Amino acid sequence: MTDEPHRDRPAVSLEAAIVARRYYLDDKQKNEIAAELGLSRFKVARLLDEAKASGIVRIYVDMPADIDLPIGEELARAFGIHRAIVVRTIDQAPDATGSLIGEAAAQYLGGIVGSDDVLGISWGTSLTGLVDAVATLAPADVVQMVGGVRAAAMDVSGVELVRRLTRKTGGRAYPLHAPLLVRSASMAEELRGDPSLADSIDRFARLSIALVGIGSWQPPKSSLYGEFTETERAQLLAAGAVADVCAVVFDADGVALRSPALERAIGISSDELRAVPEVIALAGGEQKIAAISAALRSGVITTLVTDSRTASALLTKGRSPAPR
């Protein structure tokens, strides 16, 4: 058995292919795979059946041609996350990388979402690409996990992303009709308890899958960064801010920062996000290497979807993980 790709066969669930490769090529036991990927042994068995039924398991494990499985497994081991899905960078078309990341994430999502799932989504270019690439999903509800940023900073708002994704799932949309940052911590606390937002905020604890981007603070490449005042940004940078996920800001070691500025935020907390069983982060690019490394070290992320250049740079950086 080899893992040489077969280019003529239809694309299948990435999760099934990852499990099949570990079982048939790496001689892993089902309980070992379940522990490594954060799955039940029953689901591992089901995914192996899916792999055989789809025809990808014959004398080799098939993978989509644009996925670099070995470097993904190396990256996942290096950072202690469940999995890393790495798309091969096309040298002749570097601008296509974002679309490839979105398509790979959409394919992976299509293989894991069930009708009992509740999806959470933030905002950002990568997530817009994912939603655009999704054809259909199981009828899951979709919850907006953070309030809205200024329209000038975003091509597609968080509310619109929730609506677009819900049209693909056929489930119910739970938008968060509030700004990301309000005037004061007391106003944020009052809004979090407001009945008009309760439908969405109460569902943070029910999320089974969260879709997030990763923002960079050093150098700044983040929608969240621009929402703070100059004084607040300076204070957070002085505290070591390197990355953000939703409205949570991390230092280089993956530690969530605490600040009066962050108390003004309307959105999912770091503890609530950490409690979500599957947190899928989409991010790539040279400017985000430090930010992605910090986010992975936080222990919040379970699955990273990125590109091969970014993956190689992360492995070279060689930051040790924080346990999830």
What is the structure's pLDDT at 92? 57
CB-CB contact of 104 with 80 (8 Å): no
Is the same domain home to 287 and 144? yes
Q: Is residue 318 part of a domain?
A: no
233 class by beta-carbon count within 10 Å (0-12 exposed, 13-18 middle, 19+ buried) = middle
What is the structure's pLDDT at 154? 53
Q: Is residue 319 part of a domain?
A: no
Is the same domain home to 260 and 142? yes
* Cα–Cα distance for residue pair 128/28, rounded to 1 Å: 36
**Computed from CA positions of residues 50, 53, 54, 58, in that sequence, does the dihedral angle turn out positive or negative?**
positive
Q: Mind listing the pLDDT tens digit for each residue in 27-49?
A: 888 889 999 999 998 899 889 88
Q: Mind listing the pLDDT tens digit for each residue in 148-178?
A: 876 444 567 888 899 999 999 999 999 999 9
Answer whether 0.85 is exceeded by the pTM: no
What is the structure's pLDDT at 64? 52
* Cα–Cα distance for residue pair 278/285, rounded to 1 Å: 23
What is the structure's pLDDT at 7? 41
Mean pLDDT of 91-107: 81
Is the same domain home to 145 and 10? no
Residues near 234 by beta carbon (within 8 Å), at least 6 away in sequence: none
* Cα–Cα distance for residue pair 79/23, rounded to 1 Å: 21
Q: Is residue 157 part of a domain?
A: yes
Q: Residue 5 is part of which domain span? A: 1-64
Q: Is residue 189 part of a domain?
A: yes
Return the ∠ at Cα 198 (arms to 196 and 200), rounded to 5°.
105
Is the same domain home to 268 and 143? yes
pLDDT exceeds cutoff 70 at 121: yes
What is residue 67's three-state secondary structure? strand
Is the same domain home to 1 and 129? no
Mean pLDDT of 143-151: 84
Mean pLDDT of 93-113: 87
Kindly report the average pLDDT of the chain as a whole number: 87
Q: Is residue 52 part of a domain?
A: yes
What is residue 51's three-state secondary structure? helix
What is the structure's pLDDT at 4? 43
Report in angstroms the alpha-carbon separations of 296 from 13, 86, 203, 216, 282: 24, 15, 24, 13, 12
**% of the chain residues with pLDDT over 90:** 62
Beta-carbon count within 10 A of 240 CB: 16
CB-CB contact of 278 with 208 (8 Å): yes
Question: pLDDT class for 254, splitting at 50, 70, 90?
Answer: very high
| SS3 annotation, 121-174 | ECCCHHHHHHHHHCCCCCCCEEEECECECCHHHCCCCHHHHHHHHHHHHCCCEE
pLDDT exceeds cutoff 80 at 2: no
**What's 26's domain CATH number?**
1.10.10.10
What is the structure's pLDDT at 24? 81
Is the same domain home to 21 and 132? no
* Cα–Cα distance for residue pair 94/115, rounded to 1 Å: 36
CB-CB contact of 173 with 166 (8 Å): yes
Is the same domain home to 36 and 120? no
Is the same domain home to 55 and 142? no
Q: Mind listing the pLDDT tens digit for each residue in 227-250?
A: 899 999 999 999 999 999 999 999
Question: pLDDT class for 124, splitting at 50, 70, 90?
Answer: confident
Is the same domain home to 48 and 129? no
CA atoms within 13 A on the CB side of 62: 19
pLDDT exceeds cutoff 50 at 11: no
**H/E run at residue 249:** strand 248-251
What is the structure's pLDDT at 106? 94
Is the same domain home to 135 and 254? yes
Residues near 139 by beta carbon (within 8 Å), at least 6 away in sequence: 115, 169, 170, 171
What is residue 267's three-state secondary structure? strand
What is the structure's pLDDT at 149? 78
Rg over CA atoms, the chain: 19
If one counts the domains in the chain, the total is 2
What is the structure's pLDDT at 99? 85
Q: Is residue 304 part of a domain?
A: no
Q: Is residue 193 part of a domain?
A: yes
Is the same domain home to 224 and 128? yes
Of the listed ranges 40-44, 75-79, 202-206, the one predicted with least confidence = 40-44
Tokens (6 digits) for 6: 């077969």
Is the same domain home to 211 and 137? yes
